[in-house]
A = this chain, B = another copy of it.
């Protein structure tokens, strides 16, 4: 069994109004030292596979077919046996 941790973030070229809104809220709360913040998605996925290569392929396919909007988002992941 493998555990994949998957991080989905906006592509840097895409305008991030959500991050700007959070930054403004933090500045209003006196966290002036936060110079930038972006919010993305974080998935923890457990996979019933014995083979790391197969598990990685599932993670990539699941990102492509469901979890990631590849027009606007990019992702990276860590995978380890559990």
Given known contacts A26-B62, A26-B66, A62-B26, A37 and B44 CB-to-CB distance under 8 angstroms: yes
Q: Report the minimum CB–CB distance from A16 to chain B (whole Å).
A: 11
* Contact size range, A: 20 to 34
Given known contacts A33-B58, A66-B26, A41 and B43 CB-to-CB distance under 8 angstroms: no
Given known contacts A47-B33, A48-B33, A61-B31, A42 and B1 CB-to-CB distance under 8 angstroms: no
> A65: which B residues are within 8 A, CB to CB?
29
- Within the oligomer, what is the number of copies of this chain? 2
Of B46, B49, B55, the residue contacting A37 (CB under 8 A) is B46
Q: Report the minimum CB–CB distance from A38 to chain B (whole Å).
A: 5
Q: Report the minimum CB–CB distance from A8 to chain B (whole Å).
A: 7
A46-B34 Cα distance, complex, nearest whole Å: 6
